[in-house]
Amino acid sequence: MKILLVYPETPATFWSFKDALKFVSKKSAEPPLGLITVAAMLPAGWEKKLIDCNVSHLNDKDILWADYVFLSGMNVHQGAMREIIRRCNKLGTKVVGGGPLFTMQYNEFPGVDHFVLNEAELTLPLFLKDLEAGEPKYLYKSDQFPDICNTPAPMWELLEVKKYAALSMQYSRGCPYDCEFCSITVLNGRRPRTKKVDQFIGELNRLYSLGYRGDISVVDDNFIGNKRELKSALLPELIKWQKERKYPYHFITEATINLAEDDTLLQMMVDSGFGSIFIGIETPNEKSLDECGKMQNIKSDLLSSVKKLQRKGILVSAGFIIGFDNDTPEVFQQQINFIRKSGIAAAMVGLLNAPYGTHLFNRLKKENRLLEGWGGNNMDGATNIIPKMKYQELIRGYSQIIHTIYSPAEYYARIKTFLREYSAPPWKSQLLSWKEVKAFFRLLWKIGILEKGKIYFWDTFLYSLLKYPRKFSLAMTLAVYGYHFRRIAAGL
């Protein structure tokens, strides 16, 4: 059996980092972990190829080679998904669809021959059994959440590794919190399920043996969802593993803001090599946090918590949302002020949307406040809900936030604010690789010479070089991020 695993191209979004990746000659931020994990679940004797459309072109000959095309993606990939399905139908190759988009909205995608939904550990074996018997069904789904202790290591060997800025791994699935707008608990449940320690370390050993060194994104829904297991089992072993090998990997992950309340856990994460964490802050408006069930944020002093994480050596990026029912016109300046004071350079601000199947979706459907056509892009100025605030006022205020926080003056000022708080962890090397040296000269040309607002770049350049030389490399990395963010903002 010949299987072609296909991941659609991600459009230019806040998290695509397409403009930033050009500085380091990379094609994509990270690979499709789900597909290469599914590949490892398929029979060993089958031929398998991966086409990630973010790094390679999908040719007709690739589709014709395959007996089946396995297709997966997220909401943001809807348009690209439909085009790939159309091409497969035209060429007569059968399509198997899985992953989060199809799990939530499979009935919107005619042309897919078989849907293998929810988590593959449960539904893929059923499909494979029926396929072997020559009677595969149209739909496989489950309302259970599998133990992931037997999930095989991803087939990283299918990747064109050098085309990615980071590789990805997973330790747990699920989140103990149940925010109204979030689809995580619908897809993966509220009880965080973790891999065994030797399982996770074994995956690291596999990557290490393949020769990869650099950044790894741990793509958990909430990495600290099971704090006790982290502190007692995984992190002690991970610290030991990293120290023995002189920290070959720097980890990126997602967590909740209450990480700042657990000094032991925070220190262990830093000692393990975690240096960058995304946090859903959403809003400084407590009434809106209460509305969406983000109680962990209400219990925390958000600004102080961000500063604490930065002082411990964490680069905090964050998500913010505009358009809650309890938002008033004052929220626009409140968001700007919070982002300004926080020193969070990578601040993703989006309009509130209701993903299919979430508590928010169900509530607004009952209130007859849902609109059609959300594309899954958190920062395109679109919403699929009818807001309580006057729509024109919401859009004007949203535009004000975006064009303020990503103006060169504001953005570089935030970098300075961050540098004043941030303490680089001892494992963070100050030596530049040849790749980083080339990127540095590109940024001097594109940002320091060609771009408008370059006076703010040079001011930050000198400020960081002279006052915080150990943080200079990170400051320049954030300057490159800003180059990408300004291009996204320009379209809003």
- pLDDT truncated to tens, each residue of the chain (492 aa)? 999 999 999 998 888 899 999 999 999 999 999 999 999 999 999 999 999 999 999 999 999 999 999 999 999 999 999 999 999 999 999 999 999 999 999 999 999 999 999 999 999 999 999 999 999 999 999 999 999 999 999 999 999 999 999 999 999 999 999 999 999 999 999 999 999 999 999 999 999 999 999 999 999 999 999 999 999 999 999 999 999 999 999 999 999 999 999 999 999 999 999 999 999 999 999 999 999 999 999 998 999 999 999 999 999 999 999 999 999 999 999 999 999 999 999 999 999 999 999 999 999 999 999 998 777 777 788 999 999 999 999 999 999 999 999 999 999 999 999 999 999 999 987 767 777 889 999 999 999 999 999 999 999 999 999 999 999 999 999 999 999 999 999 988
Could you tell me which residues are beta bridge partners of residue 51? 6
Q: What is the pLDDT of residue 429?
A: 79
CB-neighbour burial class of residue 39 (10 A; exposed 0-12, middle 13-18, buried 19+):
buried
Q: What is the pLDDT of residue 350?
A: 95
Q: Measuring CA to CA, which residue among 426, 416, 391 is closest to residue 482?
A: 416
Are 228 and 181 a contacting pair, CB within 8 Å?
no
| Sign, CA torsion 440/347/491/8 | positive
Q: Measuring CA to CA, which residue among 207, 305, 282 is closest to residue 251?
A: 207
Q: What is the pLDDT of residue 135?
A: 97
- Phi first, then psi, for residue 139 (nearest 5°) are -135, 130
CA distance 229 to 216: 21
DSSP state of 372: S
Q: What is the pLDDT of residue 433?
A: 75
Q: What is the pLDDT of residue 436?
A: 83
Please give the structure tokens belonging to residue 412: 């570089």
Q: Which amino acid, one-letter code, is at 256?
A: T
CA distance 351 to 108: 24
Please give the structure tokens belonging to residue 278: 């995304």
Are 344 and 414 a contacting pair, CB within 8 Å?
yes
Sequence-ordered alpha helix ranges (H) in 175-254: 184-188, 197-209, 227-229, 235-244
DSSP state of 432: P
Q: Are strands 172-173 and 193-194 parallel, antiparallel or unpaired?
A: antiparallel
Q: What is the pLDDT of residue 280?
A: 97
Our measurement of the distance from residue 222's CA atom to the centroid of its chain's CA atoms, rounded to an integer in Å, reads 11
Q: What is the pLDDT of residue 12?
A: 87
Global pTM? 0.96
Please give the structure tokens belonging to residue 166: 């980071």
* Residue 219: strand, helix, or coil: coil
Who contacts 474 (Cβ-Cβ below 8 Å, separation ≥6)? 315, 422, 424
Are 381 and 371 a contacting pair, CB within 8 Å?
no
